[in-house]
Amino acid sequence: MSDPQNPGTKPSSVADDEIDLGRLFGLLLDHKWLIIAITFVFALGGVAYALLATPVYQGDALVQVERRSTVSPLGDLAEVFGQEGESSTAAEVQILQSRMVLGQVVDRIGLETVVQPRTLPVIGNFIRRHGIERPEFMAGQAFVWGGETIEVGRLDVTQAWRGKPLTLIAQGNGGYQLEHEGQVLGAGEVGQLATLAQGDITLRVADLEAPAGAEFTLLKRSRPAAINQLQSRLSVSEVGGGRNSSTGMLRITLTGTERAEIRQALDAVTETFLTQNVERQSAEAQQSLEFLREQAPELRAQLAQAEDALNDYRVEMDSVDLSSESQAAIEQFIALEQQLNELEFQEAELAQRFTPNHPAYQTLLRKKRQLQQERAQLNERVNELPAAQQEIVRLTRDVEVTQAIYVSVLNKIQELEVARAGTVGNVRIIDEALVGEAPIEPKKPLIVVLATLLGGMLAVGLVLVRGLLNRGVESPEQIEDAGLPVYATVPLSDEQQKLVRRVKHKRDRHASEIATAVLAERAPADNAIEALRGLRTSLHFAMLEADDNRLVITGSSPSVGKSFVSINLGAVCAQAGQRVLVVDADMRKGHVHNAFGGRSKNGLSELLAGKLGLEEVVRHSTQEGLDYLSRGESPPNPSELLMHQRFSQFLEIASRQYDLVILDTPPVLAVTDAAVVGRQCGTTLMVARFQQNPVKEIQIATRRLETAGVSVKGAILNAMQRKAATYYGYGYYNYSYK
């Protein structure tokens, strides 16, 4: 406590713009149970969410994409262009995720049809997952419980009904009724094909295990929507391999809430992927086969024509034998023409796949020009032979070359037919679909930990923010730093709380706390009363300099404990042998009379109005030497009554008859009554409540009184509590000595 005789001394305190870590730590200690409670609530919320959230499972399958071995009429020359053994893993990944493959999966397992049971809010899915059976009191309700299922074998709707939810209501004994937005579309039986909505809906329910009244929602999605939904759950990644290498092993992963549906969908994806791969390989062989079959008749005709020309020339020239040089030239011609012919086939195929600027196409053209140059050189050598030899060489060349090419084409046709019949594709299923037993989501331990941490952080943040925003005074030093000495620090009394009851009048917005007894009489050894005895001692010396024996007890705002201090200070002064008069100068809401067990009427307002005399309004208490004056009936003009000459006369008489006159006034910042009363009294004390009145508010109230000519002698810090925030932040100490 500061020394009231030396008000100029100001203890050091933490600056307003600094953060007092000790106080923050104390705030956390003071609100530890609130923090624990909030954290516990969040932890329970995390547990509830982890238990109620629908689990998400994951299944996977492994397929291998082998190095492509494409059947082509190009033969071994395909190696020249780097096409043989080309890895197609990246392309196969895109094919796996394409609408072509997934669309076939949607059609195959009927993903366009969505069946959703109507469940209880929040806990419905939990009930169904754990197989909790329907209780008797829920009989006939629309909600679906554990063990109640439906299997839709077929649902066909017209385009107008796609995307519209249909409500299927079980009727019992295998019957059902179909509705849309309350409109009945028709009825059907389990296992029978039903035509509903005037033929727009065809429905066959394969199985229905649910009591009458249970509802299921059926929805026929559009095919693109079903494909997109499947794509969002599917992921494909290559297993192993590095940046520049590929293993060809693809891991197909699918997530969902139903394990059976995941396994079925994964199997359908892998089987559809394998089937389309085989069909694609067979289609390539078929395309090459058709190309060769188109060339075979032309080659056969060219061969027949060349043979006829050779025979005619031999007959005409009466047979001509080939020299060894001519025979060698013919063999070279055959080799060159075969290569050129194969290049023609290859060019025809590349022209369907690439532009002439493609590197593979350019390589082919260079190879073709080289062979043509060799053929031209060979022709020049043939031109040097005798005329007869030249002609026979050319005719024989045409026959041999065409025959060799024709035979080669026939052989390739047979090879392609065999290859097409035995096409197996380059995709193998290594691991079939397997769905994990444990869900991948939600991660229950992680959710509980995160919820607990979040609750703890929010609780700590809430406490710290409230503490930082709360500018209520917490120590006498804060008031003294504002230039106002503190005469007493009154601790919060548990016994006083027992004497308080809450009263709310119709005209009041909030309830008021009213004391029903005098604490100094009920518990004279209470710490709060001991603090008021210290105030009594301090006032004895402080009022020696005053012009009179009148003491004004006021405050900046309501509910700070002005009446408590006034009543009990009067009681302890009376116990010391003084004659004390406690005056309730709050003629609006004063309740001093309640502490003495009296009534408000016939009090100060009647005295000032001239209706009653002083002897008629002053009342005696059970404490010897202590009298009080109630507020009286609430007047319409209390401030004007206080400014009347009768009030000054009353104070003069009371000062002569009593050793101490204590006046309990209304709040300074609410009404002007305190300033009117204070001008006629020598000593005024300001009551501030712990953690309620900010220092700024106390300063404003003090300046307002000083402006009215009232000098505030000091302050009383009421309802002080022993808190860790105060202890660590300001070093407040409070002891009891009994």
pLDDT digits (tens, 9 = 90+) for 420-432: 565 556 788 898 9
CATH number of the domain where residue 712 is located: 3.40.50.300
Strand partners, 64: 249, 428
Better-scored residue on pLDDT, 342 or 676: 676
The Cα 61–Cα 363 span in angstroms is 41
Question: 484 is written with which tokens?
Answer: 């106002």
Query: Residue 557: inside a domain, yes or no?
Result: yes
Q: Are residues 703 and 567 in the same domain?
A: yes
- pTM for this structure? 0.64
Q: Are residues 641 and 553 in the same domain?
A: yes
pLDDT of 574 strictly over 60: yes
133 CB burial (10 A radius; 0-12, 13-18, 19+): exposed
Query: Residue 597: inside a domain, yes or no?
Result: yes
pLDDT number for residue 390: 61
683-689 and 149-157 beta bridge pairing: unpaired
Question: What does the pLDDT average to over 151-161?
Answer: 93
The Cα 291–Cα 347 span in angstroms is 12
pLDDT of 5 strictly over 50: no
Backbone CA torsion sign across 300, 301, 303, 308: positive
CA torsion, ordered 566, 570, 571, 572, to nearest 10 deg: 110
Angle between helices 259-316 and 387-421 (to 10 degrees): 160
Only one residue has tokens 């395909």, namely: 78
Mean pLDDT highest for which of 465-469, 506-510, 720-724? 465-469
Task: Report percent pLDDT > 90 for the chain.
Answer: 53
Among 506-515, 588-597, 640-649, the minimum mean pLDDT is found in: 506-515
pLDDT tens per residue, range 177-187: 999 998 999 99
Give how far Cα 608 sits from Cα of 157, 330, 351, 434, 521, Å.
92, 147, 118, 95, 30
Amino acid at 494: D
- Please confirm whether the linkage preceding 694 is cis (ω < 30° from 0): no
* pLDDT tier at 3, thresholds 50, 70, 90: very low
Q: Are residues 388 and 451 in the same domain?
A: no
Domain residue limits at 35: 31-53+442-468
The Cα 689–Cα 483 span in angstroms is 17
Decide: 435 and 262 in contact? Cβ < 8 Å: yes
Q: 548-558 burial, b if ≥16 CB within 10 A, otherwise e?
A: ebbbbbbbbbe
Q: 18-51 burial, b if ≥16 CB within 10 A, otherwise e?
A: eebebbbebbbebbeeebeebbeebbebbeeebe
Better-scored residue on pLDDT, 289 or 41: 41
Query: Residue 251: inside a domain, yes or no?
Result: no
The Cα 282–Cα 485 span in angstroms is 102
pLDDT number for residue 75: 45
Mean pLDDT highest for which of 231-235, 314-318, 363-367, 401-405? 231-235
Q: Are residues 703 and 624 in the same domain?
A: yes
Q: Are residues 464 and 505 in the same domain?
A: no
Query: Residue 566: inside a domain, yes or no?
Result: yes
Q: Are residues 483 and 459 in the same domain?
A: no
Decide: 714 and 685 in contact? Cβ < 8 Å: yes
Decide: 573 and 604 in contact? Cβ < 8 Å: no
User: What is residue 663's three-state secondary structure?
Assistant: strand
Q: Are residues 588 and 518 in the same domain?
A: yes
pLDDT number for residue 348: 73
pLDDT number for residue 44: 96
pLDDT of 15 strictly over 60: no
Q: Are residues 415 and 486 in the same domain?
A: no
pLDDT of 733 strictly over 90: no
pLDDT of 64 strictly over 80: yes
Question: 521 is written with which tokens?
Answer: 């009489």
pLDDT number for residue 394: 67
pLDDT number for residue 402: 75
Query: Residue 371: inside a domain, yes or no?
Result: yes
Q: Give which of 715, 603, 632 is closest to 668, Cα–Cα.
A: 715
The Cα 95–Cα 107 span in angstroms is 17
What is the average pLDDT score of the chain?
Answer: 83
pLDDT tens per residue, range 253-302: 999 999 999 999 999 999 998 888 777 766 666 667 677 777 778 877 87
Q: Are residues 419 and 455 in the same domain?
A: no
Among 84-88, 561-565, 602-606, the minimum mean pLDDT is found in: 84-88
* pLDDT tier at 650, thresholds 50, 70, 90: very high
Question: What does the pLDDT average to over 232-252?
Answer: 81
- φ, ψ of residue 656 to 5 degrees: the values are -75, -35
Q: 216-251 burial, b if ≥16 CB within 10 A, otherwise e?
A: bebbbbeeebbbebbeeebebebeeeeeeebebbbb
User: What is residue 488's three-state secondary structure?
Assistant: strand
Amino acid at 284: E
626-629 and 619-620 beta bridge pairing: antiparallel
* pLDDT tier at 74, thresholds 50, 70, 90: very low
Decide: 535 and 683 in contact? Cβ < 8 Å: no
Q: Give which of 591, 612, 618, 608 is closest to 677, Cα–Cα.
A: 608
Domain count along the chain: 3
Decide: 344 and 440 in contact? Cβ < 8 Å: no
Q: Are residues 495 and 636 in the same domain?
A: yes
Tell me which of 428, 454, 481 is where a domain ends: 428
Query: Residue 211: inside a domain, yes or no?
Result: no
User: What is residue 613's three-state secondary structure?
Assistant: coil
Q: Are residues 417 and 526 in the same domain?
A: no
Q: Are residues 459 and 483 in the same domain?
A: no
